[in-house]
Amino acid sequence: MTAQPLGSRKVEIYDTTLRDGAQTEGISFSVEDKLRITEKLDDLGVHYIEGGWPGSNPRDIDYFRKVRKLTLSNSRVVAFGSTHRPRHTVRDDTMFAALIGAGTQIVTIFGKTWDFHVREALKISLQENLDIIHNSISYLKNHVERVFFDAEHFFDGYKDNPRFAIKCLAAAQDAGADCIILCDTNGGSLPVDMEMVFEAAGKVIRTPLGIHAHNDSDCGVANSVMAVLKGASQVQGTINGLGERCGNANLCSVIPNLQVKLGMRCISPDQLRRLREVSRFVNEIANVRHFKRQPFVGDSAFAHKAGVHVSAIRKRPETYEHIRPELVGNSQRVLISDLAGKSNILRKAEEFGIRLDPDAPQIQDIVSTLKRLENEGFQFEAAEASFELLMKKALGLHKRFFDLIGFRTIIEKRREGEEPTSEATIMVKVGGKIEHTAATGKGPVNAIDNALRKALDKFYPALKTMKLHDYKVRVLTAGKGTAAKVRVLIESGDETERWGTVGVSENIIEASYQALVDSIEYKLLKENI
């Protein structure tokens, strides 16, 4: 395999956030979460999205059924599984029926390439393992368009028994694998190992090679970049480095390192500018805090404090910035200053279809309001509907659809072992008419949602098409127990789109109400009512 000149190299990006990333401790993606992330990854322009392991759990089965209804422009969804089980044939292994039944035209399977695993885990001979690899890939090639082979534990296997490890790759190649991915499954390899192993494999294997690096030695990104320099044409990783143990190679660093620093072709420049947005979106959906000091996409990645640094960057940003932050959708920040923010507002206005003069005085009002709300705990990365409403209110483009007079919630548990009941009463004013309604629900928030809808449906029938898809709560002030301030993130949608809204308060019901009202107002504005 002959390496191309760096500038002309295309590198395929294979995202496994929905499968490997979902194995992160403390993270659990719902089917709806996975579908939203799929659409966001498609916007980013990754080539492949590994959706999960069909047949391993009901959630992934449901995902592959629903993802077929999405219209993706850039990405192809991939089903993941393993080679067939020892002492079974491919045809009688039910997992293969599930892989084919997932309906993807690309399937990735992993197989053992470390003789230690073959002998100790599978309890079979080395030749039997080679046959399993060959038979599994050959069978799938008759049913799907492309098959990728993940050579599990390849670097450890190569160190112990290089001859057998290479034989495993040859078996995959002979069976027709379209790409063979060398996996640093335990994450213990160093860049020097990548250099040695890829050079050795490239002398024997003609099939395109890829890299799947874990981060247990904190070298996941460096190992991925080195692998590409030594000929790998596909990089597997996750957004924000999510993954089991210490995580996978972080695509938010891999992509800009390859594209900006080395001039390789991964995604388009416009797509690269969405990198920070995608990073924060995935964190919000995963319900984890953003890592401020994350390279390229973190809040602090291009932040500068007082003194020599600030003086220098105001003259020439490159004095203390390794790339222009706008390339990855980030922005320069001068701490304890009002110099940052205007460009972000103008960019979001353009996205929302709002005509805004760059010199409009309202821009500074929006920036000030945004800073105040973020200081209170609001985050708008996965709640852009709330931010659009904020902008329209500041610009006088918002229409008030109703006024709250008051609401009350009652939660009653009558006896041990019985589910509590929730009821909400709400009074609103629409135009000159007061509407007073009550409703029950599966909890106080659901009851308020039902009561509010009941009050407004007769005035705004379009609300009947709106559904609440997801509801998340995050504690913002650690150490205050049940008195802590919380942030509520709600995802709503109709037949054409989905949108996120946010609320913050020490009272979870009030935070939920804020997010619910924003969701309803966004829907009504969208309908031009």
The separation between CA 94 and the C-alpha centre of its own chain, rounded to angstroms, equals 30
* pLDDT for position 315: 79
Q: What pLDDT, on a 0 to 100 scale, did the predictor assign at position 307? A: 53
* 60 plus 75 within the same structural domain: yes
DSSP letters of 184-204?
Answer: ETT----HHHHHHHHHHHHTT
Instruction: Tell me if 313 is assigned to some domain.
Output: yes
Which residue carries 């809808």 as its tokens?
453
CATH number at residue 328: 4.10.430.20
DSSP sequence for 499-529: EEEEEEESSHHHHHHHHHHHHHHHHHHHTT-
Question: How does pLDDT run across 398-420, given as a tens digit for each residue?
Answer: 989 999 999 999 999 888 888 89
Residue 477: pLDDT over 80: no
In a domain, 330, yes or no: yes
What is the residue type of 185?
Answer: T
Answer whether residue 7 shows pLDDT above 70.
no
Same domain, 259 and 164: yes
Give the residue numbers spanning the domain of 440: 402-459
Q: Do 235 and 321 belong together in one domain?
A: no
The answer on 58 and 40 residing in a single domain is yes
Say how far residue 288 (Cα) sits from the centre of its chain. Answer: 11
In a domain, 3, yes or no: no
Q: Are 212 and 87 found together in one domain? A: yes
Where residue 411 sits, what CATH number does that domain have? Answer: 3.30.160.740
Residue 8, burial from CB neighbour count under 10 angstroms (0-12, 13-18, 19+): exposed
Same-domain pairing of 193 and 282: yes
Domain CATH for 482: 3.30.160.340
Residue 4 lies in a domain: no
Domain assignment of residue 37, yes or no: yes
What percentage of the chain reaches a pLDDT higher than 70? 94
Instruction: Give yes or no: residues 335 and 358 share one domain.
Output: no
Extended beta strands in 194-338, E state:
209-213, 234-237, 303-304, 333-334
Query: What contacts 277, CB < 8 A, 6 or more positions away?
Result: 329, 381
pLDDT in tens, 56-71: 889 999 999 999 999 9
Task: For strands 179-184 and 209-213, give the pairing.
Answer: parallel
What pLDDT is attached to residue 341? 58
pLDDT reported for residue 529: 65
Mean pLDDT in residue range 430-444: 94
| 171 plus 205 within the same structural domain | yes
H runs (alpha helix) in 303-443: 308-315, 342-351, 362-376, 384-394
Q: Is residue 294 part of a domain?
A: no
**Pair 375, 322 in one domain:** no
* Statement: residue 182 has pLDDT above 90: yes
Q: Are residues 214 and 329 in the same domain?
A: no
* Residue closest to 227 by CA, chosen among 238, 216, 239, 214: 214
59 in a structural domain: yes
Token pair 């109709």 is found at 494
**Average pLDDT for 463-468:** 93
Q: What is the mean pLDDT of residues 326-355?
A: 73
The CATH code of the domain that includes 199 is 3.20.20.70
Claim to verify: residue 277 and residue 143 sit in the same structural domain = yes
- What's the pLDDT score for residue 308? 67
Number of structural domains found in the chain: 4
pLDDT per position as a tens digit, 287-340: 998 898 999 999 899 887 645 666 677 778 898 899 999 999 998 876 533 334
Q: Is residue 139 part of a domain?
A: yes
